[in-house]
Structure 1
Amino acid sequence: MNSGGRFALSEPARRRALSGGPEGAAWLADLDAILASLEHDWAIRIGTSLEGGSAAFVAEARDGAGNKSVIKVGSPGSRLGRHEAEVLRRADGKGYARLLRVDGERNALLLEKLGPSLATLGLPYSQQVDIMCATLLEAWHPVPLNATFMTGAEKANLLGADIVAMWHRTGQPCPSAAIDTALLYCQERARLYRPEGTVLAHGDPHPANTLMVPGTDPVRFKFVDPDGLAIEPAYDLGVLLRAWNEGLDGRNAYNLARSRVRLMTQYTQVPAEPIWQWAFIERVSTGLLLLEIGDAALGRQYLRVAEALLLPS
């Protein structure tokens, strides 16, 4: 933790802010004052920073009656391409943490206090996928009319451009066949985009932002940190599958991965082929990104799995 003021900021969040240049440095310098002003305006007391965030200050807060909540103040770069507050407001607690207060000028949210993340519970990834699928079925909402969310076509085109750029920047670390297949799938998802087939999707569902709802029986979960996309539901399911790499090596990798997609289709009724394509795109994109940010071992694992999942000859 960085403890330059009253409010300690996690080291990853501090580095992320500094990477934003003068604007990020100014935000760091002003953070104590921003948080103190929010304490005053929202009549809360902000506690110790919580672990896990890399683009925001996140901490538990209490009001005068002792009721707990979570405050999140994003660094300047965390706004880009995201519609977090709008998604949370429209969800109204269904599938997502309930939004209690919002201040757009200070990039601050006050949220319902939830329990531990799914990532901390030690469950097999197959069980985590089941839980996240059930939570997505609750969290997907209709896309509002005249919305400005990134569309599925835009997301596919952006991922395609990013994959090509990152592949060259990282020294072409995987076979061109994997890149060509990812680009083919990006073109296919962009071409087949239809507004009537979309939902207001999370955009980055994973175990770390899937939190337990305290006091529920059976146990329920809610999401936090949505990006907000107007995209087919298969995209969110593809994101879930990108990290389910266990067993996906050797000669049976392709068939096993296809069977996992079929199970997901049975659970959600979302067609299998779009899930497969988005999962492949996301594996390649995420693997390249991990290489760029220095997590070479995990990045290479993602890319090896993508190569193993190329259509058998």
Structure 2
Amino acid sequence: MITVPPGFGDALGDGAPAWVATLPALAEEVCARWDLVPDGEVLHGFVAVVLPVRRADGTPAVLKLTWRDEETEHEGLALRLWDGRGVVRLLDHDGERGALLLERLDPARTLEHAPIGVALDVIGGLLRDLRVPAPPEVRRAGVDDLAASAMASTVSKPLLDAAVAMARDLAADIGDTLVNGDLHYGNVLAGEREPWLMIDPKPRAGDPEFCLIPLLWNRFGELGGPAAMWRRFDALVDVAGLDAEKAHGWALARAVSAAFWALEAGLPDFGAMSGAVAGWLFAGRGRARGGAAPPTAD
């Protein structure tokens, strides 16, 4: 039925090799149960394999088999609640097996390669429009305990103190919107039903502003410096109708958290990138409250 790509699942953690070994049989079982016919080569991301299929009536779709953890376990629930509005449509779902049947999009066309102005307008619109109450089983948005991080010495104390304070204050008054903690340009694909549709949500309950930081560090090479980052930040806040101060706070806290995680995970390039964004956000910490922006140059 399927051949699992070499190396897939190597970084997923305990139990992953055994789960990967079940995927060919699982794909065969689910295809038989949902009356699906394979229709292309297997694709994969970090936590899932995707098999193009056709339904009994000939409709193209994809079968996604995903590693189940706290980030992915409520993907089907979130897709059902968003109900195809700017998001890939969920056609069927088996939560126990981590199987999702989804409408087929074009994986070769993402916002990763669209002009940045187009990408910001599309994703800003998603942040504005995809606001439904989070169900109680979805975990709250937040960051790791920054003060307790073993890597706390890798950033300046003022930056760490600011991130800790912002994370604490935001968590104390967090909203209950269903949000995608991993919304970025590569996870918005071209479709036929709508021009662009979001895929692969990591559902959280919280503030829409929580989602902004991946949109700053993705396509990082196009920034060139802090002035371009702030232009991107402003465009997203404006299109999405975000609270600028709250967006700044979540972005700073998540950037520092990501820098710690990257160093612990042995990803120095991502650590340097997220650390740079954290530094730029810290330098402009009065800006989101209406204060003067610090001098910047690209």
- TM bin (shorter chain): 0.7 to 0.9
Give the conservation status (yes or no) of the 8 Å contact 2:61–2:104. Answer: yes
Q: Is the 8 A contact 2:47 2:66 kept in 1?
A: yes
Q: Which among 120, 137, 140 is matched to residue 128 of structure 2?
A: 137
2:4 to 1, 9, 28: 9
**Structure 2 residue aligned with 1:108:** 99
Structure 2 runs not aligned, ≥5 long: 285-293
Contact kept in structure 2, 1:248 and 1:305, CA below 8 Å: no
Q: Supply the distance in 1 between the matched residues of 2:191 and 2:180 (Cα, whole angstroms).
A: 18
CA distance in 1, matches of 2:73, 2:193: 31
Aligned CA distance change for structure 1 residues 124 and 179 (closer, same or farther; 3 Å): farther
1:150–1:230 Cα contact (<8 Å) kept: yes
Alignment length, in residue pairs?
283
Matched, 1:165 2:149: yes
Structure 1 residues 126 and 9, CA gap change in structure 2 (3 angstroms): farther
Q: Following superposition of structure 1 onto structure 2, how do residues 230-309 of structure 1 map, counting pairs within 5 Å?
A: 230-243=205-218, 245=220, 246-247=222-223, 249=225, 253=226, 257-309=229-281
Other-structure match for 2:29: 37
Partner of 2:48: 56
- Would you say the 8 A contact 1:242–1:280 is kept in 2? no
- Using the size of structure 2 for normalisation, the TM-score is 0.83
Task: Tell me the TM-score normalized by structure 1.
Answer: 0.79
CA contact under 8 A between 2:181 and 2:211: conserved in structure 1? yes
CA distance in 1, matches of 2:150, 2:189: 32
Judge conservation of contact 2:120–2:235 (CA < 8 Å) in 1.
no
Q: Deviation of residue 199 (structure 1)?
A: 1.6
Residue 105 (structure 1) shift: 2.1
Deviation of 1:258 after TM superposition, in Å, equals 4.6
Distance of 1:37 and 1:265 partners within structure 2: 45
What amino acid maps onto 2:138 in structure 1?
F
Task: Tell me the amino acid that sits aligned with residue 272 of structure 1.
Answer: A
Call closer, same or farther: CA 1:242–1:281 in 2, change over 3 Å: farther
In structure 1, the partner of 2:203 is: 228
Structure 1 counterpart of 2:189, one-letter code: L
Aligned-partner SS, 1:111: strand
- Structure 1 residue corresponding to 2:169, chosen from 188, 195, 211: 188
Could you say which residue in structure 1 is the equivalent of 2:90? 99
Offset at 1:286? 2.2
For the residue of structure 2 that corresponds to 1:60, the secondary structure is strand
**1:232 corresponds to which letter in structure 2?**
D
Structure 1 residues 134 and 306, CA, compared in 2 at 3 Å: closer, same or farther? same
SS in structure 1 at match of 2:32: helix
Q: Percent identity?
A: 26
Distance 1:311 1:296 in 2: 22
Which of residues 172, 175, 186 in structure 2 aligns to 1:208?
Answer: 186
- Give the distance between the partners of 1:42 and 1:106, measured in 2 at CA: 13
Structure 1 residues 241 and 305 mapped into 2: Cα distance closer, same or farther (>3 Å)?
Answer: closer
Q: Please tell me the residue identity of whatever aligns with 1:182.
A: A
Separation of aligned partners in 2, 1:182 and 1:209: 27
- Greater share of residues in helix: 1
Deviation at 1:12, TM superposition (A): 5.1
More displaced stretch, 236-245 vs 109-118: 236-245
Deviation, 1:259, is: 4.8
CA distance in 2, matches of 1:199, 1:225: 17
